[in-house]
């Protein structure tokens, strides 16, 4: 019998064998239900973010219209509603009342991988009082349980639960043949153990990968994410590579010619170590070696700096004008306005906060560097990084957004602070010139370059276990 005929026979019988195995049918059905639930959960979260972004942008327009109407009315002789909210005052127009909300839209594939989008703020209210403490607060009040365990999305399903399904389908792909006494008969044909195992696993891999990729494409279609084909391809490549790693690892364990029970124990142990223990150990080590400063310390420093600045406003204003001579024009040195004094105090508090948060950011960067240094030990960490990056919900996109918001906040201050120091009054004609936030989002090419390293490392792990499986299966003989 020709080798290709044997392979066709193996593939034809695989479906019958799988459908005859009731536990596997139940496992596949349960996985399909979890797949649907994960997609629904991701789509719901993405829609929530989209609605939040729409509300934030609508708020920008409504505030601008309301302020313009009041300024126009004042210019026509009306009195401001309150002296404390008079939009003619630059510290009011540039403060909380005239604030501008900077928004980060959901990533193109957020429905597939929620990632960091439920932890990191995706909108900021920017005004002259925006400081570093503003960037260390969450934008949404979230369930503590969700924050602790993360949302159940397709990426979570792929990284944590897909390996268990793969192992259930493949832990006895060769050992069962040996235990039933059919291995010698199979290998008496012009085929090798390597070829038989490859054929059997190929069918099962196509089944599993097909389910996941079909679900991913369906979720992408529901979320309207087909505008980023490069990200979709990257996401699919990561899923395929990660899935094949577990199938090939099962083949390697089967090549050791032990019992099915022994195979199952070893593979479940490998899943526990590679998916659960190692990532947790790396995260714990990062926290222990580079602990973050206490948030309470940040609040205490802000309160102490505020109290001190109030008592030293005149001195702080003089120092501020020395550091910023370009803003000194119009300031009366002998009798500065209350707005100028208040801003000098605010700037002193902001500078003190930058010192505290600078240490926090440095420690956080060290933690991330440590995780990245040892991520090659866990295929789960590598896959998770690629999936969230491709989805637009990874750390890098949020960090870039925060950097742009910081720059925008500085631009906002530069626009209003000179008027505050000079004690000028604002008019409706100034509104079209106020800064507006425009996000320069990352491109698919940027994502591909960034995800290339973890994807290459994941591919390297796949090549390593493939070599081990090929060598081990090459030693299997029917008489063993």
pLDDT digits (tens, 9 = 90+) for 132-162: 777 766 544 444 444 444 578 999 999 999 9
The per-residue pLDDT for range 335-355, each reduced to its tens digit, is 445 566 666 667 766 777 677
- Is residue 103 classed as helix, strand or coil in its secondary structure? strand
Alpha helices in 291-443 (DSSP H): 295-311, 313-323, 338-374, 379-391, 395-421
Lowest mean pLDDT across 21-25, 268-272, 345-349, 451-455? 345-349
Start-to-end Cα distance in the chain: 22
Q: What percent of the chain has pLDDT over 90?
A: 40
Task: Please report the pLDDT score of residue 211 as a whole number.
Answer: 93
pLDDT band with cut points at 50, 70 and 90 for residue 370: confident
Residue 404 near residue 123, CB atoms below 8 Å: no
Return left, alpha or beta for 126; rule: phi > 0 is left, psi -120 to 50 is alpha, else beta: beta
Cα→Cα distances 134→129, 298, 357, 399, 466, Å: 9, 11, 11, 14, 49
Q: Can you read off the two tokens belonging to residue 34?
A: 């979890």
State the DSSP code for 124. Answer: E
Exposed e or buried b for every residue in 35-50, given b needs 16+ CB within 10 A? beebbebbbebbeebe
Query: Other C-beta atoms within 10 Å of 337: how many?
Result: 18
Distance between CA atoms of residues 106 and 298, nearest Å = 30
Q: Can you read off the two tokens belonging to residue 90?
A: 């630059």
- Cα angle vertex 104, ends 227, 240, to 5°? 45
State the DSSP code for 112. Answer: T
Task: Please report the pLDDT score of residue 337 as a whole number.
Answer: 55
Q: Can you read off the two tokens belonging to residue 364?
A: 């956080």
Return left, alpha or beta for 123; rule: phi > 0 is left, psi -120 to 50 is alpha, else beta: beta
Distance between CA atoms of residues 219 and 41, nearest Å = 10
> Which has the closest alpha carbon to 135: 401, 359, 442, 366?
401
State the chain's mean pLDDT as an integer. Answer: 81
Distance between CA atoms of residues 399 and 396, nearest Å = 5
Strand partners, 123: 103
**Concatenated DSSP letters of 138-197:** -SS---HHHHHH----HHHIIIIIHHHHHHHHHTTTTHHHHHHT-HHHHHTSS--HHHHH
The per-residue pLDDT for range 189-235, each reduced to its tens digit, is 656 677 777 888 888 899 999 999 999 998 888 877 677 888 999 99
Q: Can you read off the two tokens belonging to residue 134?
A: 């503003």
Strand partners, 125: 101
- Is residue 350 classed as helix, strand or coil in its secondary structure? helix
Predicted TM-score (pTM) of this structure: 0.84
State the DSSP code for 328. Answer: -
Task: Please report the pLDDT score of residue 264 as a whole number.
Answer: 93
The single residue listed with the structure tokens 């593939």 is 11
10 Å CB burial of residue 195 (0-12, 13-18, 19+) is: middle
Highest mean pLDDT among 14-18, 148-152, 442-446: 442-446
Alpha helices in 224-326 (DSSP H): 229-254, 260-271, 278-289, 295-311, 313-323
> Which has the closest alpha carbon to 194: 470, 464, 462?
470
Distance between CA atoms of residues 386 and 393, nearest Å = 10
pLDDT band with cut points at 50, 70 and 90 for residue 174: confident
Task: Please report the pLDDT score of residue 24 as a whole number.
Answer: 81
CA 378 to chain centre: 18
- Sign of torsion, CA 283 286 288 294? negative
């Amino acid at each position: 019998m020709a080798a290709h005929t044997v392979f066709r026979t193996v593939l034809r019988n695989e479906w019958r064998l799988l459908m005859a195995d009731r536990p596997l049918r139940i496992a596949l059905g349960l996985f399909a239900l979890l797949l649907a639930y994960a997609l629904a959960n991701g789509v719901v979260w993405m829609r929530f973010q989209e609605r939040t972004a729409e509300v934030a942008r609508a708020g920008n327009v409504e505030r601008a219209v309301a302020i313009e109407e009041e300024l126009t009315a004042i210019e026509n002789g009306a009195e401001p509603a309150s002296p404390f909210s008079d939009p003619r005052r630059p510290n009011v127009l540039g403060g909380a009342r005239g604030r501008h909300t900077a928004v980060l839209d959901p990533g193109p594939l957020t429905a597939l991988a929620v990632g960091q989008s439920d932890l990191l703020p995706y909108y900021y209210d920017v005004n002259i009082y925006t400081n570093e403490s503003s960037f260390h607060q969450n934008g949404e009040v979230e369930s503590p349980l969700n924050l602790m365990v993360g949302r159940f999305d397709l990426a979570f399903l792929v990284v944590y639960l897909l390996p268990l399904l793969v192992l259930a389908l493949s832990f006895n792909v060769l050992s069962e043949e040996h235990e039933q006494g059919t291995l010698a008969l199979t290998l008496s044909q012009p085929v090798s153990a390597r070829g038989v195992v490859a054929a059997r696993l190929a069918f099962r891999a196509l089944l599993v990968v097909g389910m996941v990729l079909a679900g991913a494409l369906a979720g992408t279609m529901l979320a309207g994410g087909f505008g980023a084909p490069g990200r979709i391809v990257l996401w699919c490549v990561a899923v395929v590579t990660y899935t094949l790693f577990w199938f090939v690892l099962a083949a390697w364990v089967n090549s050791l010619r032990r019992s099915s029970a022994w195979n199952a124990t070893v593979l479940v142990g490998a899943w526990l170590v590679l998916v659960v223990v190692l990532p947790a150990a790396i995260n714990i080590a990062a926290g222990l070696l580079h602990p973050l400063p206490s948030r309470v310390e940040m609040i205490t420093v802000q309160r102490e700096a505020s109290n001190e600045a109030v008592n030293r406003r005149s001195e702080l204003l003089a120092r501020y004008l020395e550091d910023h001579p370009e803003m000194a024009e119009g300031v009366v040195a002998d009798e500065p306005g209350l707005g100028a004094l208040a801003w000098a105090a605010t700037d002193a508090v902001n500078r003190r906060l930058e010192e505290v948060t600078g240490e926090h950011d440095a420690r956080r960067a060290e933690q991330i560097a440590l995780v990245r240094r040892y991520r090659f030990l866990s295929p789960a960490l590598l896959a998770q990084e690629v999936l969230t990056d491709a989805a637009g919900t990874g750390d890098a996109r949020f960090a870039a957004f925060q950097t742009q918001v910081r720059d925008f906040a500085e631009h906002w201050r530069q626009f209003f602070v000179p008027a505050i120091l000079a004690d000028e009054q604002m008019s409706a004609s100034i509104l079209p010139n106020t800064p507006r936030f425009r996000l320069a989002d990352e491109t698919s090419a940027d994502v591909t370059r960034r995800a290339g390293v973890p994807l290459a490392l994941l591919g390297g792990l796949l090549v390593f276990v493939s070599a081990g499986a090929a060598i081990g299966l090459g030693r299997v003989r029917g008489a063993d």
